[in-house]
Amino acid sequence: FPHAGKHGEIMRILKLDLWRNFAKENRYRNIAYISGRRKAESKKRMRTINQGITFDYVPYIAPLWTWSDQQVWDYIKENNLPLSPSYKTTHKSGDCECGAFAQPEETELLWMFEP
């Protein structure tokens, strides 16, 4: 697993480069980046991303930005939405399991449930 200093590079390779290529291929038309990020998730996210920014000429939209944990769980329950397989085993979203910010016990869980 990469250390925290490599997280940005790994994210660029796995996500950002693909987004950029897609946007370029479509000449930046009718494209928006939609995220499930919420400011309540972490202090770092609260500082780094918010609603209404543009990333590589494409609007970045986070419709759940102000939602609380309870609002998310209520929405999931009210709409009978399934949980991701990763969440069922590790109790984390599974969005980024690179391990860069994982505690030692989290890394062990990743190896156990997501080899």
- Max CA pair span of the chain: 44
Contact 87, 113 (CB under 8 A): no
| Region 9-16 average pLDDT | 81
Q: Which of 14, 5, 1 is nearest to 95 (CA)?
A: 14
The identity of residue 109, as a single letter, is L
| DSSP state, residue 6 | G
Residue 92: what pLDDT?
67
pTM of the predicted model as reported, rounded to 2 decimal places: 0.66
Mean pLDDT of 47-60: 70
Asked which of 25-29, 83-87, 94-98, 102-106 is least confident by mean pLDDT, the reply is: 94-98
- Judged by average pLDDT, the poorest of 11-15, 33-37, 39-43 is 39-43
d(CA 9, CA 70): 33
CA distance 16 to 111: 25
Asked if the model's pLDDT at residue 67 lies above 90, the reply is yes
Tokens of 98: 């690179």
